Amino acid sequence: MIHKIVKFSLRNVFRNKRRTLLTISIFVVSFMILALYSGYINNTKKYWKISLIHGEYGHLQIASKAFFDDDQYSLDNLIPAEVVKKLSQSLEQLEQVEYFTTRVFISGFIGNEERSKVFVGSARAASENEDFYYTNPATIGTFYSKDEKYGVVIGKSLADALNVKVNDKLLLMANSALGSLEAIEVQVTGLSKQLIREQEKVFLILNDEAIEELTFSQGRHNIVILLSDINETQNVARQLQTIIDENHFPVELRTLDQLAQLFNQVMDSYQRNYIIALTVLSLIIVLSLINTMYMSITDRMREFTTLKTIGISNSIIFLVILFEGIEIALFGTAIGAGCAFGISELINANMFMMPPPPGTDQSFPLRVMLDPPIYGLIGASLFFISIVASLVPAYSVLRKEIQAGFHAS
């Protein structure tokens, strides 16, 4: 019986070609918009997260509570050297830890005999260039090596303001842990172009081989930990928290999700926008499908009335109308899925460039990373919408009396 109902409803779908094509086109466009927008969000989330992990945060960080919650540049918030040493030994024993490094955050003045500028930066190990970074921070010149004790990488805008280039020497001044103002001579090994122009004006990375000479301290602000598998984050966090608690170390452990608050907020905003878009498009589809189905059924009211007259039950007529909506949704989602895949491949192959975000001068490539579960979610949503939209015209047929049905125009 069901296959006969499906066959009959399918014949009705093809018989009303104009309205069917109009409704299917709405499904196709809606599916494409939702799928491509979702793919854009997925790509943004994936690569932004990678850049955060391999550029600044790692998977886990250890630091003092004051460092996380107060002033990251205060030398009063350094982890004592003996604690850093013991934690480093523990990290070396964990097989899930791929790499870890220590950092000291500093701010001060950098300049030459002509002018000086404020910098806000950090001292980092030379090994980060090969073992940690996803992309080399030194976009011009090179990142300093371990042998270049006084090597620095500064922002391109900061270098322009100081009128210096690669291999030039500068005087770097900052406060020590004793409160005195100290200075060392550094050499520019590379220049960095940052996404945010204002950050580029003060950006500086110093070889941590020289930080003890500048601060008179062997302490470190934080320990950044990179894991071999992001899925091991919570497992490693539990192990490290146990070590911290058992030894009463004056530090706190935080994960990437706790550190990257801006990332989480932006992704939440994207998801909310996606839900709004899905809701609006769903409303458009429902109204369009109701209108199309209603007009189609109104034109065939005498046909349905005849079916009632010859003894066809209301339930069968209801299923016929319902299956018409489902079949239209099936065609629309299938075509939409194919079009979304084809357009995403076209976008990714041609590397279309997006305009620079506000406050930056760097364009970035538009890429779409389609997610099969999202395909299923969109398809299921559209099928549900088609069922809901078919209920209104189906109800109008069922409640129509036979005599009134024959007089319907």
pLDDT tens-digit readout, 380-394: 887 887 777 777 777
Q: Answer whether residue 375 shows pLDDT above 70.
A: yes
Q: Are residues 292 and 321 in the same domain?
A: yes
Residue 20 has what pLDDT? 78
Residue 123 has what pLDDT? 94
Residues 128-172 have pLDDT tens digits of 998 998 888 898 999 999 999 999 999 999 999 999 999 999 999
Q: Are residues 105 and 244 in the same domain?
A: yes
Q: Of 221, 250, 279, which residue constitutes the final position of a domain?
A: 250
Q: Are residues 221 and 352 in the same domain?
A: no
Residues 68-91 have pLDDT tens digits of 887 778 888 999 999 999 999 999
232 near 96, Cβ under 8 Å? yes
The secondary structure of 170-236 as a DSSP string is EEEEEE-TTS-EEEEEEEEEEEE--SSHHHHTTEEEEEGGGHHHHHS---BSEEEEEES-GGGHHHH
Q: Of 227, 250, 273, which residue constitutes the final position of a domain?
A: 250
Q: Are residues 116 and 219 in the same domain?
A: yes
Residue 384 has what pLDDT? 82
Would the pTM of this model clear 0.85, i.e. be above it? no
204 domain residue, yes or no: yes
Q: Are residues 97 and 143 in the same domain?
A: yes
Residues 242-274 have pLDDT tens digits of 999 999 999 999 998 888 877 778 778 877 887
58 domain residue, yes or no: no
Sign of CA dihedral 343, 349, 354, 360: positive
255 domain residue, yes or no: no
Q: Are residues 76 and 223 in the same domain?
A: yes
402 domain residue, yes or no: yes
Q: Are residues 178 and 297 in the same domain?
A: no
377 domain residue, yes or no: yes
Q: Of 218, 250, 282, which residue constitutes the final position of a domain?
A: 250
Q: Are residues 138 and 220 in the same domain?
A: yes
Contacts of 224 (CB under 8 A, 6+ apart): 57, 58, 60, 61, 100, 101, 102, 103, 132
Average pLDDT, the chain: 83
Range of the domain at 229: 65-250
Q: Are residues 280 and 216 in the same domain?
A: no
Residue 367 has what pLDDT? 82
Going by pLDDT thresholds of 50, 70 and 90, the confidence category of residue 406 is very low
Q: Are residues 269 and 240 in the same domain?
A: no
Residue 405 has what pLDDT? 45
Residues 313-371 have pLDDT tens digits of 777 777 777 887 788 888 888 898 899 889 888 888 887 777 665 544 556 677 888 77
Say how many domains are in the chain.
2
127 domain residue, yes or no: yes
Q: Are residues 99 and 227 in the same domain?
A: yes
Q: Answer whether residue 103 shows pLDDT above 90.
A: yes
Calpha distance 319→354 (Å, rounded): 48
Residue 47 burial (CB < 10 Å; 0-12/13-18/19+)?
A: middle
59 domain residue, yes or no: no
Going by pLDDT thresholds of 50, 70 and 90, the confidence category of residue 207 is very high
Q: Are residues 128 and 246 in the same domain?
A: yes
104 domain residue, yes or no: yes
